[in-house]
Structure 1
Amino acid sequence: MYYSNPVISGFHPDPSVCRVGEDYYLVTSSFEYFPGVPLFHSKDLVNWKQVGHVLTKTEQLDLKNAGSSGGIYAPTIRYHNGVFYMTTTNVSSGGNFYVHTDDPLGTWSDPIYVDQPGIDPDLFFDEDGTVYYTTSYDASGQGAYQSRIDVKTGKRLSDVTLVWKGTGGKYPEAPHLYRIGDWYYLMISEGGTEYAHMVTVARSKKPDGPFESCPYNPILSHRSLLNSIQATGHADLVQTLDGNWWAVFLGIRPIGYPPHHHLGRETFLAPVSWTDDGWPIIGDNGTVSETMPAGNLPLQAKPAPQVRDDFNGTTLASYWTFLRSPIPENWSLSDKSGSLTLYGSPVTLNEASSPAFVGRRQQHFDCRVATHLTFAPQQDGEEAGITVFMNERFHYEMAVTRIAGERKLIFRRRLGTLWKIENEIPWSSDSVILTIQADKTDYVFGFSESGKEPFWFGKGECGLLATEVAGGFTGVFIAMYATGNGMRSISPAHFDWFDYQASDVE
């Protein structure tokens, strides 16, 4: 039996995993998107279902001042004595903190902050009850720093000390501490979360070191290799019921030459083997592929994906997110039954703020997205439509708007300082179906009336929204949005349904 990588596609970086009995729970970074820290569940480590988010309340997650690729950095999830813990960093507000719960599918606690600098925090519960908090100092670039804390209060019980500098690669980060047998293993990532990314490990007889570096480092890296998966790193280990070890980690799938990636950093899976002298090695001598042997994993049937969201519920599906802290008056599921209603605020997609924006990650290169919009703009500047969005400086959109008293349908591209409406036509109808057809190289935008094939209206290159061009740590979102372009709209935008369909060949 084999499985396919990535196991969670699209923008889901910095994975962390824990096992409770036969159940696995996994979290990833979310940066400036709300709710924060997507939460997944699996029975086999391969087939994951998103079951919610960890940070669902504004009291837990303040993103008002988060710039692009700010907000929530790498989380760690752990389970100890019947309690789940998730620790992370809000780099835009408050620093390092953790939350906890008895039920991961329920509400998590308010944040408990830890007075410790750095990012990528890790919680380790030792057998004697001591709790170790380990972070990486991003600014100094020196390595993994550690303290002991009171897990009930977050208060430090010791000074923060440097425990391992790594092997010399830049940006030693993403520390995770484990006790396996008689050894404490400290695993980190080095080289930066780009093409030189790698995972390294050290061990000690004590949790605070001194740590001895693994002679086989890096234990995972695709640097300088001709492989369809690149930038592998930021790993976390988990032991299955049968005693075997596996690793989840991030990677990218670049396109073209020079290589570029737009789906973001994704979550991959690989087996872990152990050398005769007791060191872990991830994958096939530190490398992985898109098709991997499943070993003894009890592979489950993969459920058919849901294509259409009719917005008939009282809450949004777990894959929908807002851009930064949501503003309640900007959206509603009840103002028009069976529709998502957006009310355009003065904020546009060109600002690092909180527009009326409800989006989902693009998770497949080849996909078709469509939504039915009902919108009758009454004021100049009112606009609503669909966007392919990397950040406020790089995005494409197709929308209905009103310009100089005339209602129009437009296709627009924003690429850095270059901004242009590429196509526009008069539009008299109150409703339209907006469609995006994507492949590895292009987004093609079209519109239609109900029951008719789209008229293709504009095109944008995927590569111009790639991280190598647009920068940052996130990936492409496809979103419904509305704006008053500097003023609050008086005209609601009703999205009656939204389709996301991946190609069968994917």
Structure 2
Amino acid sequence: MTSQPDSASIEPTELPNPLIPGFNPDPSCVLVDGTYYAVTSTFEYLPALPVYRSTDFATWEHIGNVATREEQVGIAGTPSTAGVWAPTLRYHDGLYHVIVTVAAGARGCVVFTATDPAGPWSEGLGLDGVQGIDPDLAWDENGTAYVTYSGLEMDGTRVIAHHGILQARVDLTTGEVLEKPRELWSGTGLTAPEAPHLYRRDGFWYLMIAEGGTGYGHSVSIARGPSAEGPFEGAPHNPILSASGTDRRVQCTGHADLVRGPDGRDLLILLGTRTAGRTSPLGRETYVTAVDWADGWPYAAPVPYNPRSESAEEYFEFTDTTALADPGWLAVGRTPESVASLDERPGYLTLHADSGGIDSFRPDFVGRRQRHVTSTVSARVDPADGRGGLGIRLDENFTIGVVAERSPTGRGTRVTARASMPTLLNSWSTEVPDDEVVLRITTLAPASCDPQWLPSGDLIRLSVVDATGVEKRVTEFDGRVWSVETAVPFTGRVIGMFAEEGTVRFADFGYHGAAGT
């Protein structure tokens, strides 16, 4: 018998954390021929299910998305925080598979396949007999396919019952579920057993799950058994990972997947949130931590906070009509290409307010994930005959915007900053003499991120830059309300361009993320 390591004694990984920053929850990862691929959740956004690639597990490239058309996932009418939930990515017999649940949608449990993870991916095969969330896909030694999932019974977004972790054999050619789902080990008794993943290692089958809910009690637990069907026995040191009750910078750690790292050591890729003061403005992100094994059980190190030392820069001139083909653009319930036009006026992205502003159910909005707590986003705006600007969206109830429109005097531009949450809307206005203005949203990390002492969140500043290059601050405020703890439980900040009346044109969209944040 080997000595059992204490989690604090496990040598931590030196990989960057967050590993994939910004709104990237529920990660799943595979290693194929020396290359890693990871997929995360997207909920109401399209394109759905981003695919990331890495050869060193440190630098990740966004190479595509699994669902690039609304018809693949059917989320045109799903409410916010429903839609495309936690995926599992696996590789088998030359095919990449992504299995996922579309919550409150007609498609239910769907399996997508591709020969190249960059796409294109299939239309998706529905598994009608899988009624639950967080499905996993595994094959036994005979090639039998198993779907293991969390038996959460829902009516739309309303939870009716939870039946624990369930499993059934499936036919991935026809979509037929071949047996009545069986009950498996469902954790240590903590709430909401979910996110199951099956692995075969050293003669055992391991069943890893999340439990404790997706908030500050989020945890990872594991069991093992003789076959993919069990029976499973829980590890004596469960949960093997949790930040619950600690003052660690990375909280809500859970929903993990196990993968062999570049140096041969096992890693857990998982979701977590990083606190800025008392809240997590960027939502649930992808993290990594190291794993050691003893007596046939995995022991996980606490998740370290190790932000990247380099800054990030993105810039779009919109002179190229393929600019929206960049896989990082997002829209709500629709594809970015169906919301915005790049060929109406050369060098501009044009939005028409057909559905409503950033606070509408399906806004005329295209944006990108905010990936740094300290960041600057700007765009040159010609309000034309309409009204629109830059905004931060968590959902339609929690939004921030800085809006441009023609001045009522007929000369220059009126700029209005708005901060919206349920039952409350604040606005501040100013005017500049130019017909086109640069709108800017700046977010600043608090001076200290110690949750024990700091009562504030990040600072959000809304401003306008006139034709002479002078920046005029319209307003600034504490960003605690626009965080995952207050606004939305599952997603994160998406920041971009919107129209709320008439036609609005945008140029020179830029994003800067500060190093170390």
Fold similarity call, TM over 0.5: yes
* Matches for 1:408-423 after TM superposition, within 5 Å: 408-421=414-427, 423=428
Structure 2 residue aligned with 1:201: 222
Moved more, 79-88 or 336-345: 336-345
User: How many Å apart are 1:376 and its aligned residue?
Assistant: 2.0
User: How many Å apart are 1:62 and its aligned residue?
Assistant: 1.7
For 1:311-352, what per-residue CA distance to the aligned partner results, in whole angstroms no more than 9, with x for missing partners? 233141211100112486641122222322111114232222
The separation in 2 between residues aligned to 1:12 and 1:328, in whole angstroms, is 22
Q: Does 1:61 align with 2:73?
A: yes
Q: Does 1:389 align with 2:408?
A: no
The residue type equivalent to 2:462 in the other structure is F
Q: Does 1:373 align with 2:381?
A: yes
Structure 1 residue aligned with 2:150: 136
TM-score normalised by L of structure 1: 0.91
Q: Does 1:41 align with 2:53?
A: yes
The residue type equivalent to 1:356 in the other structure is D
Q: 1:329 to 1:158 in 2, by over 3 A?
A: closer
The residue type equivalent to 2:241 in the other structure is L
Q: 1:337 to 1:127 in 2, by over 3 A?
A: farther
User: How many Å apart are 1:264 and its aligned residue?
Assistant: 0.6
Structure 1 residue aligned with 2:331: 322
Structure 1 residue aligned with 2:290: 271
Contact 1:330 1:344 in 2 (8 A): no
Aligned residues: 480
SS at match of 1:141: strand
The separation in 1 between residues aligned to 2:196 and 2:422, in whole angstroms, is 34
SS at match of 1:4: coil
The separation in 2 between residues aligned to 1:97 and 1:338, in whole angstroms, is 39
For 1:270-329, what per-residue CA distance to the aligned partner results, in whole angstroms no more than 9, with x for missing partners? 121101x1001122xxx121149xxxxxxxx99974431222331412111001124866
Q: Alignment partner for residue 446 of structure 1, among 460, 463, 488?
A: 463
The separation in 1 between residues aligned to 2:500 and 2:28, in whole angstroms, is 36
Structure 2 residue aligned with 1:119: 133
Structure 2 residue aligned with 1:356: 364
Q: Alignment partner for residue 499 of structure 2, among 469, 477, 482?
A: 482
Contact 1:144 1:162 in 2 (8 A): yes
The residue type equivalent to 1:456 in the other structure is R
Q: Alignment partner for residue 315 of structure 2, among 308, 320, 329?
A: 308
Q: 1:405 to 1:25 in 2, by over 3 A?
A: same
TM-score normalised by L of structure 2: 0.89
Q: Alignment partner for residue 351 of structure 2, among 342, 347, 355?
A: 342
The separation in 1 between residues aligned to 2:376 and 2:194, in whole angstroms, is 37
The separation in 2 between residues aligned to 1:468 and 1:90, in whole angstroms, is 23
The separation in 1 between residues aligned to 2:390 and 2:509, in whole angstroms, is 10
The separation in 2 between residues aligned to 1:463 and 1:226, in whole angstroms, is 18
SS at match of 2:485: helix
Contact 1:393 1:417 in 2 (8 A): no
Of all paired residues, the percent bearing the same amino acid is 35
Q: Alignment partner for residue 172 of structure 1, among 190, 193, 197?
A: 193
Contact 1:390 1:465 in 2 (8 A): yes
For 1:387-445, what per-residue CA distance to the aligned partner results, in whole angstroms no more than 9, with x for missing partners? 02211111111111358786622111212111232x22345532100112211221111
SS at match of 2:438: strand
* Matches for 1:425-436 after TM superposition, within 5 Å: 425-427=430-432, 429-436=434-441
Q: What's the C-alpha RMSD, in Å, of the aligned pairs?
A: 2.0
The residue type equivalent to 1:48 in the other structure is W
The separation in 2 between residues aligned to 1:451 and 1:481, in whole angstroms, is 25
Q: Does 1:332 align with 2:332?
A: no
Contact 1:14 1:235 in 2 (8 A): yes
Consecutive unaligned residues in structure 1, runs of 5 or more: 293-300
Contact 2:293 2:299 in 1 (8 A): yes
